[in-house]
C-alpha cells in the first residue's frame, strides 16, 4: 500500500516535537531564574485575597527579561486560587484585566478595553455590557466608560488588578497621567473592593513622563528585572528544547552558541527565536540535528527580519534616501572615480542627487537639502548608516555615508515598500 502523504509528512518530524511551546505567547509551567521575582510579585498582590488593597507595582526591565511572562504566570495562579472555593474561603471577588498598551495606546482605548473585558462582564452585577446587547461601547464618552467600570467594581466589591503591559506605549503624557489618576481615584469612592495596577515597561524614560503624583502612585512598589546571563539563558533554552524538540537533536554546542549570542543583551526572546529558526533551518535541510552552523544562519535571518521590519516602519522619504544609498552602493559610488576613498563610502552630494532622481521617478516632491541632512542623522541614529567627515583634501570637507547592511537586501525590501518596479 502506498503511504499517505500526511503519513510521510508526520514521520518527517525529525527535529521538532511540539511547536506550540516555542511560540512567543506560550507561558511555560515553570520560569527558571525568575523564582525570586515570581515570589515577590506574588507577595505584593497576595493581600487581594484578604480583601486588602495590594500595592501598585511597576516592573522595569530590558526587552526579553521575562516581565510579561512573570506577570502572566502569577496572575494565572492568582485566578486559579480565587476561582477555587476550597481555597478562596473568604470568597473574595478577584479579577485581572490584562492589556498591551502597544495596542491600547490611549486613555480612551484602555478604558474601552476594560469595560469590554470578559473579566468585568462575566456573571457580575452591573456589568458594563449588561444593557448593551450589541456588545458595543465604542463611541461612548470616556466619563461614561469610567462610570460603568466604577459601577461594576463597586456593585461586586471587586478586587481588580489592571495589568498595563508596555505602559510606555500610551502615546500622550497627559493620557498616561490622567489614566493613573482616574483609576486610582476610584479607590477613594469604593466602600469595598479595590483597583490596583501592575505596569510593565522596557523604556527607562517612562518615569520622566509621569507627573510626581502618578509616579508615586504607579511606582508604589518597583521591581527591576535584570538581563539574563548565558547560564540562565541555557536553562531557559533547555526547558523548551525538552518539550519542543525530539530527543537529542539539539546538542550542547548548539545551545551554548545561542546562549552566547542572546546573552549579549540578556534577551530570552531572542534566544528562543534563534532556537526556533535554527530548528526550521535544520528541518528544511537534510540534517538530523540542529547544529551550530544552523544557529549562524538563523542569526543572519533574524537580523534580516529585524532590519526588514525597521525599514518598513520608516517614513517614506527616509525609505527613498535608504534606497538611493543602496542603489549607489551597488554601483560602487564615487569611490570608483576617486582615489583615496575607502570602498563603500558615498558623498552626501551624490546621494542627494540620487534621492532627487528617485523622488522624481516616484512622483514625490524631494525635500530640501536641510531636511535631507536631518534624514541622514536619523538614519544614522537608527543604525542603518554610518557617516564620517571626509577630512580636507577630498572634495573639501564633506560627510561620507556608508551603509550598515547589505545593499541588495535593503534595495529589495524598500522596492516592495514603495512599490518600485525594476527600471
Return the closest-CA partner of residue 411 out of 305, 297, 330: 330
Please pick, from the candidates 106, 121, 202, 387, the single residue that binds ligand ATP as defined by CB under 6 A.
202
Stretch that binds ligand ATP, among 29-37, 47-55, 124-132, 396-404 (CB under 6 A): 29-37
- 66 lies in the site for ligand ATP, by CB under 6 A: yes
Select 29 or 123, whichever has its Cβ closest to ligand ATP.
Answer: 29
Q: What is the 3-state secondary structure (H, E, C) of the chain?
A: CCCCHHHHHHHCCCCECCHHHHCCCCCCCCCCCCHHHHHHHHHHHHHHHHCCCCCCEEEEECCCCCHHHHHHHHHHHHHHHHCCCCCCCCCCCEEEEEEECCCCCCHHHHHHHHHHCHHHCCCCCCCCCCCCCCCCCCCCCHHHHHHHHHHHHHHCCCEEEEEEECHHHCCCHHHHHHHHHHHHHHHHHCCCCEEEEEEEECCCCHHHHCCHHHHHHHCCEEEEECCCCHHHHHHHHHHHHHHHECCCCECHHHHHHHHHHHHCCCCHHHHHHHHHHHHHHHHHCCCCCECHHHHHHHHHHHHHHHHHHHHHCCCHHHHHHHHHHHHHHHHCCHHHCCCCCCCCCEEHHHHHHHHHHHHHHCCCCCCCHHHHHHHHHHHHHCCCEEEEECCCCECCECEEEEECCCHHHHHHHHHHHHCCCCC
Choose among Mg ion, ligand ATP, none what residue 65 binds, the Cβ cut-off being 5 to 8 Å by kind: ligand ATP
- 266 lies in the site for ligand ATP, by CB under 6 A: no
Q: Shortest approach of ligand ATP to residue 41 CB, angstroms?
A: 12
- 379 lies in the site for ligand ATP, by CB under 6 A: no
Q: Shortest approach of ligand ATP to residue 206 CB, angstroms?
A: 12
Please pick, from the candidates 93, 160, 179, 236, the single residue that binds ligand ATP as defined by CB under 6 A.
236
Q: Shortest approach of ligand ATP to residue 218 CB, angstroms?
A: 17
- 56 lies in the site for Mg ion, by CB under 5 A: no
- 35 lies in the site for ligand ATP, by CB under 6 A: no
Over the window 146 to 185, marking each residue x when it contacts ligand ATP by CB under 6 A and - when it does not, the resulting string is: --------------------x-------------------
Return the closest-CA partner of residue 351 out of 399, 390, 389: 399
Q: Shortest approach of Mg ion to residue 103 CB, angstroms?
A: 13
- 201 lies in the site for Mg ion, by CB under 5 A: no
Q: Shortest approach of ligand ATP to residue 232 CB, angstroms?
A: 7
- 64 lies in the site for ligand ATP, by CB under 6 A: yes
Choose among Mg ion, ligand ATP, none what residue 63 binds, the Cβ cut-off being 5 to 8 Å by kind: ligand ATP
Select 106 or 202, whichever has its Cβ closest to ligand ATP.
Answer: 202
Select 34 or 411, whichever has its Cβ closest to ligand ATP.
Answer: 34
- 206 lies in the site for ligand ATP, by CB under 6 A: no
- 57 lies in the site for ligand ATP, by CB under 6 A: no
- 238 lies in the site for ligand ATP, by CB under 6 A: no
Residue ranges in contact with Mg ion by CB under 5 A: 67-68
What residues make contact with ligand ATP under the rule CB under 6 A?
Answer: 24, 27-28, 31-34, 61, 63-69, 166, 202, 236, 268-269, 272
Amino acid at each position: 500500500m502506498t503511504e499517505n502523504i500526511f503519513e510521510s509528512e508526520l514521520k518527517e518530524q525529525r527535529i521538532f516535537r511540539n511547536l506550540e511551546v516555542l511560540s512567543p505567547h506560550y507561558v511555560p509551567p515553570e520560569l527558571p531564574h525568575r523564582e525570586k521575582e515570581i515570589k515577590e510579585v506574588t507577595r505584593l498582590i497576595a493581600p487581594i485575597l484578604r480583601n486588602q488593597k495590594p500595592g501598585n507595582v511597576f516592573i522595569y526591565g530590558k526587552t526579553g527579561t521575562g516581565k510579561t511572562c512573570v506577570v502572566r504566570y502569577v496572575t494565572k495562579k492568582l485566578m486559579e486560587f480565587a476561582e477555587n472555593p476550597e481555597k478562596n474561603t473568604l470568597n473574595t471577588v478577584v479579577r485581572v484585566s490584562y492589556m498591551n498598551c502597544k495596542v491600547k495606546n490611549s486613555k480612551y482605548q484602555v478604558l474601552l478595553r476594560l469595560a469590554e473585558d470578559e473579566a468585568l462582564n462575566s456573571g457580575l452585577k452591573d456589568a458594563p455590557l449588561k444593557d448593551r446587547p450589541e456588545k458595543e461601547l465604542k463611541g461612548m464618552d470616556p466619563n461614561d466608560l469610567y462610570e460603568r467600570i466604577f459601577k461594576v467594581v463597586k456593585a461586586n466589591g471587586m478586587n481588580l488588578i489592571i495589568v498595563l503591559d508596555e505602559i510606555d506605549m500610551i502615546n500622550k503624557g497627559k493620557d498616561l497621567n490622567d489614566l493613573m489618576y482616574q483609576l486610582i481615584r476610584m479607590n477613594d469612592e469604593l466602600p469595598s473592593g479595590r483597583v490596583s495596577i501592575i505596569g510593565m515597561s522596557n523604556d527607562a524614560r517612562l518615569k520622566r513622563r509621569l507627573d510626581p503624583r502618578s509616579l508615586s502612585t504607579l511606582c508604589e512598589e518597583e521591581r527591576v528585572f535584570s538581563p539574563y546571563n548565558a547560564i540562565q539563558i541555557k536553562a531557559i533554552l533547555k526547558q523548551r528544547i525538552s518539550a519542543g524538540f525530539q530527543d537529542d537533536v539539539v546538542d550542547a554546542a548548539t545551545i551554548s552558541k545561542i546562549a552566547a549570542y542572546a546573552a549579549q543583551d540578556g534577551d530570552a526572546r531572542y534566544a528562543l527565536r534563534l532556537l526556533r529558526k535554527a530548528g526550521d533551518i535544520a528541518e528544511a535541510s537534510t540534517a538530523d540535528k540542529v547544529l551550530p552552523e544552523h544557529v549562524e544562519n538563523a542569526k543572519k535571518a533574524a537580523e534580516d527580519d529585524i532590519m526588514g521590519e525597521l525599514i518598513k516602519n520608516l517614513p517614506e522619504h527616509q525609505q527613498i534616501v535608504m534606497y538611493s544609498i543602496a542603489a549607489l552602493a551597488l554601483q560602487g559610488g564615487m569611490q570608483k572615480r576617486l582615489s583615496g576613498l575607502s570602498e563603500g563610502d558615498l558623498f552626501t552630494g551624490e546621494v542627494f542627487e540620487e534621492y532627487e532622481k528617485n523622488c522624481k521617478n516616484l512622483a514625490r516632491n524631494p525635500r530640501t537639502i536641510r531636511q535631507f541632512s536631518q534624514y541622514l542623522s536619523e538614519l544614522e541614529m537608527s543604525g542603518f548608516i554610518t557617516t564620517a567627515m571626509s577630512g580636507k583634501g577630498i572634495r573639501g570637507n564633506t560627510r561620507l555615508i556608508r551603509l550598515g547592511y547589505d545593499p541588495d537586501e535593503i534595495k529589495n525590501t524598500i522596492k516592495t515598500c514603495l512599490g518600485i518596479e525594476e527600471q
